Structure 1
């Protein structure tokens, strides 16, 4: 997290939190949602400014209620999640394929899940570990199992790695990642938030 952000938290500790104005969509895009967008249930305007996107990514964190937010200087901007806290793409580097999040972290996968709509979710450890709130002006790296929606542009590539069979409400099977066989299990999309501990629509009414 940016040093100037941490300093501002100490200098201005009681700035009101912001809810509903920033969202992460299913393609890993940050969206600004003004009052009109919120009132009419619209997705909001995609943020295209590269500097702002990088600033959000560097200062992305979660609190002790599993709500994700962007620490914008002294103000905490809670994020509405269209799917999961992380959206991943399959990228390649000198060592082979890797999963990269919208914040440029990588995920070391342990499993994958397929929901009732055919979406694929990657579960694993995120590196570098994301920030977790320690107290009002302090953060630690919260290494834990998390989940990320696979970008829909990469579904075909993932299918080449997988061996599937029909399950009750989705697909199950195995998939190969860096010469390891990993499970691919069915899940219902409604189970994701409770299973992987995140709040899709944070509010000032705690974890609702």
Structure 2
């Protein structure tokens, strides 16, 4: 976490959390979701505007964390901005040299791999669960063919509970319209 963020938290410790305004899609892109987009439906059905500002994205990456309940958030100064996840907390990029990196450029170690009923390939890593980026499926296929990876079958609906993440903190937050609809 950036020092400036820690200082802001210390200066303003009681800033309310923000829900529903930021989404991470299955390709590692961040989406800003204003009131109009949120009213149009849940993420990823209604995505919003893709973020393209490199410095803002780098700031989000440096301050992207998980809380004790399994909700992922971006610490924006004193405010936690909870993230709506399309598939998993991490989107993984694979390199031909065997390295695996998250969408935030964090190197990770793969502990096991899983494939869901849609054919999506996930990896359990030392940082948590990640979805393999679609552009890297050719590398993943080579790793599976060589026996380096041996994916287990899993139902997509089981992933959040099994790997301890909350896909929609906004829907899980007590007292919200989305939580009341469940």
TM-score normalized by the length of structure 2: 0.89
Report if the CA contact (8 A) 2:5-2:76 is conserved. yes
| Residue-by-residue CA offset, 1:4-60 (whole Å, 9 max, x unaligned) | 100110100111110000000000001101111111121111101000000000001
> When the two structures are aligned, how many residues end up with a matched partner?
170
Following TM superposition, where does structure 1 have runs of at least 4 consecutive aligned residues deviating by more than 6 angstroms? none
Deviation at 1:102, TM superposition (A): 1.0
Q: Distance in 2 between matches of 1:175 and 1:78?
A: 37
**1:200 paired to 2:145:** no
* Gaps in structure 2 of 5+ consecutive residues: none
User: Which structure's CA Rg is the greater one?
Assistant: 1
Of Structure 1 and Structure 2, which has the larger fraction of its residues in strand?
Answer: 1
CA RMSD of aligned residues (A): 1.5
Deviations 1:67-122 (A, max 9, x none): 11000001110000000000011125xxx221111111112111110100000001
Equivalent residue number for residue 55 of structure 2: 51
SS in structure 2 of the partner of residue 192 of structure 1 = helix
For residue 112 of structure 1, give the secondary structure of its aligned residue in structure 2. Answer: strand
Q: Please list every run of 5 or more consecutive structure 1 residues that lacks an aligned counterpart in the other structure.
A: 127-145, 164-173, 177-181
Kept after mapping to 1: 8 A contact 2:144/2:150: no
Tell me what 1:124 maps to.
125
Alignment partner, residue 102 of structure 2: 101
